Amino acid sequence: MKPKILLVEDETDLGNVVKQYLEISDFEVDWVLDGKMAFEQLRLRHPEYQIALIDVSMPEMDGFELAEKMVRAGFNLPFLFLTARNEKKDRLHGLKIGADDYISKPFDVDELVLRIKNIIKRNAGAEPVNRSLITLGDVQFYKDSLKLIIAGRKEIILTPREAELLDYLFRNENRILKREEILTQLWGENDYFLGRSLDVFISRLRKHLNVSSCISIDNVYGVGFVFNTHSLPPGR
């Protein structure tokens, strides 16, 4: 089976060239044009990929923001930055986020292929990372064990539906979520009884998260909720 790559590049000419060359070099490539599309693709299919190649300068969500979201979501996917920004502080920031490499444009495509192969080979022998762990500020959420740890001292075991809801909130931070959207996305339908259950789950999660200095669940009157992240330290 060919190694599969997610290429995130908003320059169509460069994206086409890189995609075609990588395919000639015996990789399978999915190419997306921006960070939001990339995160949604990874949210649905991240286990399929061996590496992500991420352009730094993109509209709406730049490469650094995308990589930070990937790390927080626990995707456990190596990534390499492609960028025209060659300043030392940018390289250090990219590596601090967790990048396996940082290659400046214009670059030699043969060199890029070699770096990709080395990263995939290195990660194939690495110890597995706990993909079920999501960390955000002072909150740790272990999806598989339904465990929530807040501020290093408060530990809660969630119900399966509470955990499912919290996972959805983590994946949609800082945006207004309509009640009907949550219900249909998580449980397939929007009815009165599920709506009442959603209110109970939100109330419980909000009570737990009151201990956190970084996360809150706020009501948007007549619409739904916002999973707010605030006061997060650099690198989150």
DSSP conformational letter for 104: E
> pLDDT (tens digit, 9 = 90+) per residue, 43-73?
888 888 999 999 998 887 889 999 988 888 8
Q: Are strands 4-8 and 215-220 parallel, antiparallel or unpaired?
A: unpaired
Question: Scanning the structure block, which residue is given the tokens 């490539």?
Answer: 29
Residue 234 is predicted with a pLDDT of 43
Q: How far apart are CA 54 and CA 75, in angstroms?
A: 15
Cβ atoms of 68 and 96 closer than 8 Å? no
Ordered by where they begin, the domains of the chain are: 4-124 (3.40.50.2300), 133-229 (1.10.10.10)
pLDDT band at 235 (very low <50, low <70, confident <90, very high): very low
Distances, alpha carbon 149 to alpha carbons 89, 157, 214, in Å: 33, 9, 13
Residue 20 is predicted with a pLDDT of 94
Q: Give the end-to-end CA distance of the chain in Å, rounded to a whole number.
A: 36
